[in-house]
Amino acid sequence: MSRDPQRVAVIGLGAMGLPMATRLAEAFAVTAYEPVDERAKQAAGQGVTTAGTPAEAALGADVVVLAVRDQAQLEAAVFGPGGVDETIVAGRVVVVTSTIGPDAAREVATRLDQRGVLVVDAPVSGGPVRAGSGDLLVVVGAAPEALAAARPVLDHLGSTVTVVGPNPGDGQVLKAINQLLAGVHIAAAAEAIALARGVGLDPRTALAALTAGAASSFMLGDRGPRMVEAYEGGTDEIKSRLDIFVKDMDIVTSMAARAHVPIPLGVAAQQLYLVAERAGLGASDDSTVVTVLSPAGE
């Protein structure tokens, strides 16, 4: 595809998909699919046309952006009934922004390549606010032709676009390493907030001091206030579901095991998310993991 994309489809309007769609609507004609009516209505109010199926959204699109939760949702959105595969034509581009692991990305690319559809493996990181302002980190695995076709879309979404390698799956490898750090940092932030509370310190005072010094991290500054809120009655706002890290840490630990690289901190963080999921927090914001370490009612 020699021309810049004019029509973009976004499949999935969750915590990341919705702000990405509205960001892209500033520069492209965007059609999106989302099964949850409330999210679809939000997108429609911000310049995004909504469709009844992924196939309908992808019809005529130059670039299809997949912003689904996991591999199962991706398989359904692309290859299931009413999926993208029914209407996308050869030479068009599918951009996978979800964290699904390198093996899944390669499998999707192989299946779409049989149709002549280009695939860009481009998982994103940065959170909903940065997604809405085009300030994401995008790590890419793609052949030069596919990358060139998707580049205008990627550049509109990300302030940092790092090309890791020429093959789908390459971006997923680096994203898994990113999630190793993110998952460990959230777990460490939770331990710090829980410990401060457990020894009788005011969590807000402790958080303010910690974020001002060398112990600070992005995750402490971002999740820390929500962890404190979890102790003060909580909030209905969900910026990142806890079960996302259950999925992502499984990808991380599986990849590390295959490479015979020990990641004891990653495994410990994985267990904490699993405990939280078993406690019924899977659909809650990931900051609520702090309540597993020091229950809110204590």
Instruction: Tell me if residue 239 is catalytic.
Output: no
3-state secondary structure of 167: coil
State the maximum Cα–Cα separation within the chain, in Å, rounded to a whole number.
63
Which residue(s) pair with 93 in the sheet? 63, 118
What angle separates helix 17-24 from helix 37-44, to the nearest 10 degrees? Answer: 20
Q: Which of 41, 175, 239, 247 is catalytic?
A: 175
**Count of CB atoms within 10 A of residue 108's CB?**
24
Closest CA to 172 of 231, 125, 219, 133: 125
Structure tokens at 61: 């699109």
DSSP string for 3-38:
SPP-EEEEE--STTHHHHHHHHTTTSEEEEE-SSHH
CA distance 293 to 233: 16
Structure tokens at 14: 């969750």
Q: Annotated active-site positions, please?
A: 175
